[in-house]
Amino acid sequence: MNLSSFARVRLTQAPTPFEFLPSITRLLNGPNIYIKRDDNTGLATGGNKTRKLEFLIGEALAQGATHIVTQGATQSNHVRQTIAAANKHGMKTTALLEERVSGAHADYYSSGNVLLDQIFGATLETRPAGLDMNHELIAVGERLRAAGEKPYLIPGGGSNPVGALGYVVAAHEIVSQTNELGLKVDCLVHATGSTGTQAGLVVGLQGCNSRIPVLGISVRAPRDKQEDNVRKLARQTWALLGARGEFPDETVVANADYVGGGYGVPTDGMVEAVNLLARHEGILLDPVYSGKGFAGLVDLVRKGHFTKGQNIVFLHTGGAVGLFGYRGVLAPQAAF
C-alpha cells in the first residue's frame, strides 16, 4: 500500500515500544501477553490520535487551513492531541466538548484533558449530549468561514478515511516489529470507539497479508452497530488507498460486553484493569478506552477464550491524562 501520495506531517515518535508483559502473563496464567505502546506516541502526553493527525493536519495544511475545528466528549483524548498538533503547525483550534457523561464528579469537568485543553489555548465550546455533533461542526465551520478563517473540520476521534491512514501505518509497524521478534500473533486486541483505529488496523493488516486477527472491545456502541461502523470506514479507507478487490468484511470483529453503563461510565472491570497494569507492570491505562479494552482482554483470558501458548497483543491507545477526571472512582479516599 502506497501512502507516499498523501499529505502528511510527522508527529509520532515511532516506532512506539512493543513489550512483553511478564507479570500480567504469570498472574493470568493464560496466553503470552504483549503490549504495543501507542500511549507513547509523544504529542501532548501521547495517544493513538497522534497517528491519525499526521494525515489530517497534513491535509489541512495542503488546503491552506488556518483554523481546526473538532469535537469530542468532555474528557476527549482526541481533542487534547488535536489542539497540540494544530499549535505545532500555526493553526488555531475550536473544540466542541459534548457533555456525553452525566452525573460525573466535578473533577471530570475541570481536570485531566480539560485542563490541558485550556493550557494549550484552544477555544472551547460545550454542547449538551444527544446533538448531531457533525452538524455542530459544520455550523461552527460556516461561522468561522464567514469571519474570514479557512476552517478544516476533523470528526470525533479523527475517524474518517484520511485519519484511518495513521493506523494503516501502525499496522505495518506492528508487522515489522513482530517479524523482527519471530512472533506469531494470535490476536491483536484494542479498545474501539469512533472506529478509525480499528478500521485502519484491519485495512493495513489485510493489505500486507499479515493474517493477524483484530478484536475491538467496544467502549460505546452495541456489537452489531460497532462492527457496521468499522466496516463502513474500512471500506472507504480501502478505496482511498486504491487497494485491489473488495475489503474482506469478515475481518471486522467487535465485542461489546464491557461497555457497562455507557461511554465514559466506570465499570468494576475497568477499575480492576487499571490497577492490575499499574501495580504489576507500571503502566497506566485510561478509564474510558484502554481501561475497558484491557478489562475485556483480562475477562476473555479468564473465560478461556485465549489460552496458554497463544500470543496476544494489546494495543494501548493512551489517555492516562483522563485518570485525573475519575479520582472519585479510582482513589476515593484521600491519601493523607
Residue 123: all three cell numbers together: 477555544
**Catalytic: which of 76, 159, 218, 290?**
76
Q: What is the pLDDT of residue 140?
A: 98
Q: What is the pLDDT of residue 336?
A: 62
> φ, ψ for residue 97 (rounded to 5)?
-100, 115
Q: Which of 104-108, 192-196, 224-228, 245-249 has the lowest mean pLDDT?
A: 104-108
Q: What is the pLDDT of residue 105?
A: 86
15 upstream amide cis, omega within 30 of 0? yes
Q: Can you give the C-alpha Rg of the chain in angstroms?
A: 19
Q: What is the pLDDT of residue 80?
A: 98
Cα(185)–Cα(203) distance, integer angstroms: 17
Per-residue pLDDT at 1 exceeds 80: no
Q: What is the pLDDT of residue 41?
A: 98
Per-residue pLDDT at 84 exceeds 80: yes
Q: pLDDT digits over 99-121, tens only?
A: 999 988 889 999 999 999 999 99
Q: How many CA atoms lie within 13 A of 249 on its CB side?
A: 7
Confidence of residue 306 (pLDDT cuts 50, 70, 90): very high
Report strand pairing: 18-20 vs 32-37: antiparallel
Mean pLDDT of 83-101: 98
Cα(235)–Cα(161) distance, integer angstroms: 9
Mean pLDDT of 303-331: 97
Q: Which helix (H) or strand (E) holds 300?
A: helix 290-302
Residue 163 DSSP label: H
- Compute the mean pLDDT over every residue in the chain, rounded to the nearest whole number: 97
User: 3-class SS at 160?
Assistant: coil
Q: What is the 3-state secondary structure (H, E, C) of 3-54?
A: CCCCCCCCCCCCCCCEEECHHHHHHHCCCEEEEEEHHHCCHHHCCCHHHHHH
| Whether residue 76 lies in the annotated active site | yes
Confidence of residue 52 (pLDDT cuts 50, 70, 90): very high
Q: pLDDT digits over 141-155, tens only?
A: 999 999 999 999 999
Q: What is the pLDDT of residue 125?
A: 98
Which residue shows C-alpha cell 456525553? 100
Mean pLDDT of 228-250: 97
Task: Please state, as a whole number, how many other Cβ atoms lie within 10 Å of the Cβ of residue 52.
Answer: 33
- Residue positions counted in the chain: 336
Per-residue pLDDT at 85 exceeds 90: yes
Cα(326)–Cα(108) distance, integer angstroms: 6
Cβ-based neighbours of 5, under 8 Å, separated by 6 or more:
none
Q: What is the pLDDT of residue 334?
A: 65
Question: Residue 18's closest CA among 33, 32, 37?
Answer: 37
User: 3-class SS at 288?
Assistant: coil
Confidence of residue 335 (pLDDT cuts 50, 70, 90): low
Confidence of residue 211 (pLDDT cuts 50, 70, 90): very high
pTM above 0.85, yes or no: yes
Per-residue pLDDT at 269 exceeds 80: yes
